[in-house]
Amino acid sequence: MKIVLVGYMGSGKSSVGKKLSKVLKLPFKDLDSEIEKIEEISISKIFSEKGEIYFRKVENRVLKKLLSESKHFILATGGGTPCYGDSMEFITAHKDVVSIYLKTSLEVLVTRLKSEKNQRPLLAHLNNEEEIEDFIRKHLFERAFYYNQANVVVENSSEDIAETVEKVILKLL
């Protein structure tokens, strides 16, 4: 089985994915890290030097390559991955893939992301917490259609990582 974690940036896909991989004894992969290996450049440099459209095309290609492998693993996607091209359709079409939406409240996302805004290419241009909140709110509205196509939805706004992993496992049973 391949488990694909989707959700907005800051929703805990990497943290939950790493912990889940230990519990389920499955390898963990991070889509952004896989892209950086192939492109031999950081995600932020891809955005600044080649643009978001180029990044989204590479992201879609790498996602499809990974999900076409026969190996089992847990994959943390980028926040926008399911929303571009045919990525979410491709994820949900695979019989051996379970997609899990880590649904996180706006308030929790703002709290988590305001301190990381300079490391997040899509947030770096924002000037204050109000702009960050407005940006995230708009994105969540636009992306909810894609995120909600996941096989499983797990609320993770107030739990710690271990509690979220436990919720995921219970949904998988």
Annotated binding site for substrate: which residue ranges?
A: 32, 56, 79, 143
Evaluate whether 163 touches 11 at the Cβ level (below 8 Å).
no
d(CA 114, CA 171): 31
Binding site for Mg(2+): residue ranges? 14
Q: Residues forming the annotated binding site?
A: 10-15, 32, 56, 79, 120, 143
For residue 81, count other CB atoms closer than 10 A to its CB.
26
DSSP string, 47-100: IIII-HHHHHHHHHHHHHHHHTSSS-EEEEPPTTGGGSTTHHHHHHH-TTEEEE
Are the C-beta atoms of residues 56 and 50 closer than 8 Å to each other?
A: no
Give the residue numbers of the binding site for ATP: 10-15, 120
